[in-house]
Amino acid sequence: MVTPSEIQSRLERILPGVQKPGRYTGGELNQVVKDWEAISTRVALIFPDLYDLGMSNLGMTILYELINQRADSLAERAYSPWTDMEEALRESQLPLYSLETKHPLAAFDILGFSLPYETLYTNTLNVLDLAGIPIFSAERTEAHPLVIAGGHAAYNPEPMHAFIDAFVIGEGEEVIQEIIDAHQAWKRQGTPRIELLRALARIWGVYVPALYRDFYHPDGTFSHLEKLIEEAPLPVIKRIVARLPPPPTRFIVPYIDTVHNRIPVEIMRGCTRGCRFCHAGMITRPVRERPVDEILAGIEAGLQHTGYEEVGLLSLSSSDYTHILELVKAVSEKFAGRHLNVSLPSLRIESFSVELMDALQDTRRSGFTLAPEAATERMREIINKPVSTEQLLETARAIYARGWSNIKLYFMIGHPSETIEDVQAIADLCRAVLAEGRSVIGKRAQVTAGVSTFIPKPHTPFQWVSCDTMEQIRLKQALLKEKLRGPGLKLNWNAPEETLLEAWLSRGDRRMAEVIYQAWKRGAKFDAWGEHFRFTVWQEAFQAVGLDPAFYTHRERPIDETFPWEHISTTVRKKFLTEDYLWSLQGRTRVDCRERCFACGILPTFAELRRQNPGEVWQCPEVKSKRVQLQELIPVSQVVAGDFSSQ
Ligand code: SF4
């Protein structure tokens, strides 16, 4: 195997010839370099996209800090090289390496891939190939690293089942420690690789695809999954942490400009709003909040360690954080005069959101973002994001009146039962908002409409529905392009081909793995990047495998269809999702489940965790019973329901 010093010396010749060499050098402020020889478990954390994007990934930062806190382990980083660097690496026969010590990825014990979205799948295969590691899990031996993956896309792991040895389903903070422990025990014992996989399968939140087999009906729909060994859990229950651990503060400061040069602080995890299209909102339940003083301490330490001038207070719905006003005022007071730019994304459409942004005194007033997602009240009821048009216009007036000149409005086309009138309404609403702006600040007022296309996601109430076809998307986009022209208006949209790729992959089954492999063999990579995405390659891959892409996207599933991701339990029950889907067809909405618990399934599974963590740290109802023990969550067969106050 090539040594780190050989890699380093050859890099010195390669790097002057590639774009942004700072992506590939490491050595940034706050990187952690440990004594390689003195460490038992070496983990490479890999974000299979460009460094410029991956450096902002909070999940990677959290795991990097936690693993490096262990005396017996180290974590280093790797990202997908851009095409020029890939070419240079291949020409020089250099493997992909870690930024910190320049060790080849094949020298690590564990490779941990972050998979926040599906369009990173071909890049994952490419990274394995560049590392000289067999692409297929079944071809790896004891001499190869263990390949694990986690992130939101892993909640339907099946399309990637052939390439990943073990998936982490859910939150990684605790489970990564148990995976490292299991790996160390396996190394000590010196047993075959299958024993490591068996040990991993016993850890709560770990899914080992090789221990299961898939079956299909004659019409091609999924039938069921069978476990091949007794101890493999079925279903695999997602992992959560009962309380959010203190936020990371030693952020690595890149030498080059990246997507976000800021301190990201997660103020809350989970969401109680219940928007029916929202994958993150369903899979990250329950809501757990971080105390205000912990957030403030995190910001203070983060600023000290990095010198950044921007902080992002992150969550899926920031206005829902219980102490949001107190937090915003405290941030404003504590960091007054330090010219700190504070971003507060995902605010509700109400005047209170404007007050919140206003309270952040130093905030630059460029654009204010609202996400109505649909333009008619009927459609907003279907997707369960009920807000009246009047309330939206009133909020827009308040935003312009407080000094913002540009309102960014996010919509989706392609929601279930959408008509062309609902699409036309997007243009009308944007014009109505602009008119409000003009009445307040005149011609300075602007509206930017970001219109993406709805992709039905697994584990959501819309997992049954059909995705718009290319023709439908083009027709709707053409209408918007025509109607949203003129001074003060700007429209952004996504290429329909990219939407379809994500739609194929997100509700794929195990057969999709061969499609991904064939697409990668034909050159697919950087699928999330317009300039690299090659739709025809994917069409050829489907053809080569003999699968119909429309089967995965343009098919409304019968209500009793079994899905290929059902063995992965987010703990939100299918019964709840089914009811919610049927409610959507009637235009029935649900209130925020902080107001009324709808017994989605979180509490029966995590009753004991809730009981042990009383009060407002969770936003689910309190649990009184002491009958359920945490250990009973694993194995799954022993999960029993506890008593909880309002379900
Ligand atoms: S258990 Fe109740 S309160 Fe908790 S997430 Fe589910 S519906 Fe909401």
Domain range annotation of the chain: 4-233, 242-361, 570-645
**CA dihedral in degrees (181, 183, 185, 189; nearest 10)?**
180
Q: What is the pLDDT of residues 41-93, one digit of tens each?
A: 999 999 999 999 999 999 999 999 999 999 999 999 999 999 999 999 999 99
Q: Do domains 4-233 and 242-361 have the same CATH topology?
A: no
- Is the pLDDT at 363 greater than 80? The verdict is no
Q: Tokens 């504070």 identify what position?
A: 342
Distance CA 178, CA 338 (A): 41
- Would the CB of 620 count as within 6 Å of ligand 1? yes
pLDDT above 90 as % of the chain: 88
313: nearest Cα among 347, 280, 270, 272: 347
Q: What is the pLDDT of residues 583-641, one digit of tens each?
A: 999 999 999 999 999 999 999 899 999 999 999 889 999 987 665 444 344 433 333 33
SS3 of residue 633 by DSSP: helix
Q: Which atom of ligand 1 is nearest to the CA of 621?
A: 3
CA of 598 from ligand 1 middle (Å) equals 6
- Would the CB of 592 count as within 6 Å of ligand 1? no
619: nearest Cα among 243, 283, 287: 287
- Would the CB of 272 count as within 6 Å of ligand 1? yes
- Would the CB of 579 count as within 6 Å of ligand 1? no
Q: Which atom of ligand 1 is nearest to the CA of 618?
A: 4
Distance CA 554, CA 549 (A): 8
Contact by Cβ (8 Å): 164, 137: yes
The pLDDT value recorded for residue 358 is 84
The pLDDT value recorded for residue 339 is 83
Tokens of 299: 């910001």
- Would the CB of 598 count as within 6 Å of ligand 1? yes
Q: What is the pLDDT of residues 201-232, one digit of tens each?
A: 999 999 999 999 999 999 999 999 999 999 99
Q: What is the DSSP letter of 588?
A: -
The pLDDT value recorded for residue 627 is 52
Contact by Cβ (8 Å): 149, 42: no
Contacts of 419 (CB under 8 A, 6+ apart): none
- Would the CB of 593 count as within 6 Å of ligand 1? yes
375: nearest Cα among 451, 320, 483: 451
CA of 413 from ligand 1 middle (Å) equals 28
The pLDDT value recorded for residue 361 is 62
Helical ranges in 55-120 per DSSP H:
58-69, 83-91
Query: Phi and psi dihedrals of 410, rounded to 5?
Result: -100, 130
Q: Tokens 């219109």 identify what position?
A: 451
Q: Which atom of ligand 1 is nearest to the CA of 644?
A: 1
Distance CA 163, CA 541 (A): 17
Q: What angle do CA 307, 312, 314 make, to 5 degrees?
A: 145
- Would the CB of 274 count as within 6 Å of ligand 1? no
Q: What is the DSSP letter of 360?
A: S
- CATH superfamily assigned to domain 4-233: Cobalamin-binding domain (3.40.50.280)
Helix (H) or strand (E) holding 18: none
**CA dihedral in degrees (401, 407, 412, 416; nearest 10)?**
10
Query: Phi and psi dihedrals of 409, rounded to 5?
Result: -115, 125
Give the distance from CA 575 to its chain's centroid: 24
- Would the CB of 576 count as within 6 Å of ligand 1? no
CA of 505 from ligand 1 middle (Å) equals 28
Q: What is the DSSP string of 219-232?
A: TS-EEEEEESSTTS
Task: Please indicate whether residue 502 or residue 639 has the higher confidence score (pLDDT).
Answer: 502
Contact by Cβ (8 Å): 483, 427: yes
- Would the CB of 285 count as within 6 Å of ligand 1? yes
Kindly report the three-state secondary structure assignment for every residue of 538-552. Answer: HHHHHHHHCCCHHHH
- Is the pLDDT at 643 greater than 60? The verdict is no
Contacts of 292 (CB under 8 A, 6+ apart): 323, 326, 327, 330
pTM: 0.95
- Is the pLDDT at 645 greater than 60? The verdict is no
Nearest C-alpha to atom 5 of ligand 1 is from which residue? 286
Q: What is the DSSP letter of 558?
A: P
| CA-to-CA separations, 163 to 65, 146, 638, in angstroms, rounded | 26, 11, 30
For residue 22, count CB atoms less than 10 angstroms from its CB and return exposed for 0-12, middle for 13-18, buried for 19 or more.
middle
We find that the CATH architecture of domain 242-361 is: 2-Layer Sandwich (3.30)
SS3 of residue 373 by DSSP: strand
Helical ranges in 105-160 per DSSP H:
121-130
CA of 609 from ligand 1 middle (Å) equals 14
Nearest C-alpha to atom 4 of ligand 1 is from which residue? 620
Distance CA 487, CA 479 (A): 18
Nearest C-alpha to atom 6 of ligand 1 is from which residue? 600
Mean pLDDT check: name the lowest of 181-185, 355-359, 599-603.
355-359
- Would the CB of 292 count as within 6 Å of ligand 1? no
E strands, 12-117, in order = 41-47, 73-79, 110-114
Distance CA 54, CA 45 (A): 11
Nearest C-alpha to atom 2 of ligand 1 is from which residue? 597
Distance CA 103, CA 266 (A): 32
Distance CA 125, CA 427 (A): 41
Mutate to test the pocket of ligand 1, among 316, 459, 572, 593 (most ligand atoms within 8 A of CB): 593
Contact by Cβ (8 Å): 601, 235: no
Tokens of 29: 């402020």
| Per-residue pLDDT band at 642 (split at 50, 70, 90) | very low
Distance CA 277, CA 463 (A): 9
Q: What is the DSSP letter of 562?
A: P
Contact by Cβ (8 Å): 411, 447: no
Q: What is the mean pLDDT of residues 454-461?
A: 98
| Largest separation between any pair of C-alpha atoms in the chain | 74
SS3 of residue 192 by DSSP: coil
Contacts of 9 (CB under 8 A, 6+ apart): none
- Is the pLDDT at 337 greater than 90? The verdict is no
Contact by Cβ (8 Å): 106, 133: yes
**CA dihedral in degrees (428, 434, 437, 439; nearest 10)?**
-70
